[in-house]
Chain A
Amino acid sequence: MSTSTTFLTFDGIVAGYGGGDVLRGVDFTVHEGGVTCIVGPNGSGKSTLLKTVSGLLHPRLGQIVFKGTALVGKTPREILKLGIVQVPQQHSLFREMSVEENVSLGAFLVRDRAEVARRLSSVREMFPIVASRAKDKAGSLSGGQQRLVEFARCLMLEPELVVLDEPSMGLDPKTLRSMFDTIKLMNEMGRTVLLVEQNARQALKLSHHGVVLENGQVRLSGTGKEVLNNPEIGALYLGGTIKAGPEMHPDVTMEETD
């Protein structure tokens, strides 16, 4: 698959909540057809950056352009219509609704019922849990199962870009592996993926591109492999073993709190 076309660009994004700016001029490009992973320490602005893509947060300065269309100022609904779907960090299924109803709601913007049914059946093939637990309340599923149903729901819109905010959060190692396999599968099916991950090593391994965010700015970007193999980055964010300078904290955790 080609990973060269410019698809989504961040140009000087400055954004924050109320008082201060969390993002202080973020510039980078997401290429079509690839998996782009953003890593960085706690509070570096990873989740905040994703919120600016989905329209949950409007940047104070800068522009985000998706296939020639400016995203800043658009509502989450308008951004969904352009083909960008976000799965948020916190579980976002409607707990009291059934699994099937949750997944169907992923195609809320599609009014043609036959089309929704067609998409539902194709999503069922990819995620057997959508069929096997169809009538169960979403709240009764385990964390990993809920994550899969969230993935299934986001595919109902047949998005061009899937934005995932720390999808591994709270998952056990086995579930984690199958979750990363699913991300890979989504990408192979033609979805461009932009994700923020705390399991940086695993995420960068499957990513075509890696971006390191620090203090609200891009510290480094390159191929997933380049970022993974960068010694300084390795020591800072990936639990590497090379000697770290006095200002560096090799044991920094990657949990996002913003």
Chain B
Amino acid sequence: MNGTAVLHSIIDGVLTGSVYALMATGLTLIFGVMNIINVAQGIFVILGAYLSYALSVHLGIDLFVGLAITIPTLFVVGIVVERVFLSRIKGPERVVMSILVTYAISLVIEGVLNMVFSANYVELHAWYANRSVRVFGFYLGYIYLLGFGLAVVLLGALYVMLYRTRFGSSVRASLADQTAAALIGINVRRVSTICFGLGVAVTAAGGMIYGATNAFNASSSYDLISRLLVIIVLGGMGSIGGALVAGIMMITIEDLVSVVWGPVWSNLAFFLILVVVLSLRPQGLFGKPSVRVA
């Protein structure tokens, strides 16, 4: 182990972590506004990756250009899922029911993807996927830099939407207090549906980067969702800032542990940090105690 390797792992972690932060932001936004834990977020990421794969392999569309199709497609998928399945879940068991319903949705999508694409691992290819640039004496893959740029742009767009628009005000109000939001005229139902759409739409971008940096099949969704859930729980359920910080932090630490102690320890470190942080701060890093009782 040397300094360069450590620096490399930190930079790698930040670049990859930003993509996880993006995917986790979608998940935490959905929970914050709707009190729904969307365990289908992992399979949506894989669906996004397969959509990029199909566009690239069958139509020769560049991965980034393809996002102009895959992001709106997953937005619509999210809207339909919310309207058809999730909007029907009401009452005190909403959170638990949402886990079951989204898990069922996840299984259905996984089955369909296995039927269409088989269970063989695939990877997304593009001219920039295997090239790298030398920085500080080590190589950084173009795709990681591009992924980081994409995450920054999309998170920036999300920030502008949340803090500079009328719709953003209605989202933040609904995040804070749904009854109070309804009493000032915010259509909380509509906000919820659009937020679910947006939360799922970001997985198209996340999925594309994931698919270009990892070989994947439909079952890869399980590893993804467990990481994403850890990130949003650690950041504080419903906290967008928390998802950002925890996303970057966790992946960076994982990479760092992998370099310092070896790859076998990285997964353990990931979940160990969760246990330690939650035992000290049960509400997560940026969560508020007792704001939401699941």
Contacts and interface: CB of A to CB of B under 8 A. Distances in A.
A73 B77 CA distance: 30
B185 A109 contact: yes
A121 to B, nearest CB: 19
A77 B185 contact: yes
B176 interface: yes
Interface string A34-54: 000000000000000000001
Interface of A is mostly: loop
A6 interface: no
B180 A92 contact: yes
Interface string B162-183: 0000100110110011011011
Given A101-B169, A105-B169, A108-B170, A80 B176 contact: no
Interface in B113-172: 166, 169-170, 172
B186 A96 contact: no
Interface string A81-109: 10001101000111111000100011011
Interface of B: 166, 169-170, 172-173, 176-177, 179-180, 182-187
Contact of A88 (B176, B179, B186): B179
Nearest to A105: B184
Contact of B186 (A56, A77, A92): A77
Interface residues of A, number: 23
Interface of A: 54, 56, 75-77, 80-81, 85-86, 88, 92-97, 101, 105-106, 108-109, 153, 157
B187 to A, nearest CB: 6
A106 B180 CA distance: 10
27 contacts: A54-B183, A75-B187, A76-B183, A76-B185, A77-B182, A77-B186, A80-B184, A80-B185, A81-B185, A85-B183, A88-B180, A88-B183, A92-B177, A92-B179, A92-B183, A93-B180, A94-B177, A95-B176, A96-B176, A97-B172, A97-B176, A105-B169, A105-B173, A108-B169, A108-B184, A108-B186, A109-B185
Contacts of B176: 94-97
Contacts of B184: 80, 105-106, 108-109, 153
A105 B170 CA distance: 9
A107 to B, nearest CB: 9
Contacts of B179: 56, 88, 92
A97 B166 CA distance: 14
Given A54-B183, A108-B185, 14 more contacts: A56-B182, A81-B185, A85-B183, A88-B180, A92-B180, A94-B172, A94-B180, A96-B172, A96-B176, A105-B184, A106-B184, A108-B166, A108-B169, A157-B185
A92 B177 CA distance: 7
A92 to B, nearest CB: 4
Contact of B183 (A86, A95, A96, A97): A86
Contacts of A109: 184-185
Contacts of B185: 76-77, 80-81, 108-109, 157
A85 B184 CA distance: 8
A235 to B, nearest CB: 36
A135 to B, nearest CB: 15
Nearest 5 interchain pairs by C-beta:
A92-B180, A109-B185, A94-B176, A80-B185, A76-B182
A225 B143 CA distance: 77
Contacts of B166: 108
Contacts of A97: 172-173, 176
Specify which of B169, B179, B185 lies most central, judged by the most chain A CB atoms within 10 Å of its CB.
Answer: B185
Nearest to A94: B176
A257 B186 CA distance: 26
